[in-house]
Amino acid sequence: MCLTKILSATARLACLLMIGLLMPASFVCAASDSAKVIHAAVQKHGRVDAKPAVIALVSMDEVLPDCQQQVTVTKVKTVAYSESGMTPEKIGVDWLGAKLDIATNVGENPVLSLEEIQAANQFIQVGKRYLIHFQLCAEGSQRSLINMYAEHMAPTRPVRKLKT
């Protein structure tokens, strides 16, 4: 039962991402000025948590036509931070048997507020699994995060009162 819920949540995220990739280029091209930190209410121990959790970072960079788009579900192995320690600049992941560093674009993004940068910092955690959409440019030497989704997120459902 639990495994089916996890698989179905992961499958939904993958489907949503693939729909975005298959849409016409005019809709898919996400400019860096449209970056968003997505929050949602999360259930813990059968109750909805009062503080919404970050579940995704979307449109962190512009999708470039000359770059290869890649999607993977993997654990974050390392996080490299800015000098202040507040901004995650790069994440290290295992991809196709090799360690790959991907720029997060969190600090370079002009539309993210200080609160959103802090939320992104708390969202990206070493050892946690994510569905990651990134691009490889210039023969793989430049790697840039486009979207990042939490793999395990229990969806919230409104509480229904049964009539007796």
d(CA 108, CA 105): 5
Q: What pLDDT shows up at residue 3?
A: 41
Q: What pLDDT shows up at residue 126?
A: 95
- Comparing C-alpha atoms, which of 100, 107, 117 is closest to residue 82? 107
Mean pLDDT of 95-121: 90
Mean pLDDT of 69-90: 93
Whether 142 shows a pLDDT value over 60: the answer reads yes
Average pLDDT taken over every residue of the chain? 76
d(CA 95, CA 73): 9
Phi and psi at residue 114, in whole multiples of 5°? -60, -40
Residue 74 tokens read as 């993997």
**Which amino acid, 113?**
S
Q: Of 2 and 103, which is predicted with more confidence? A: 103
User: Confidence band (pLDDT; 50, 70, 90) for 151?
Assistant: confident
Within 71-125, residue ranges assigned H as helices are 114-123
pTM over cut 0.75: no
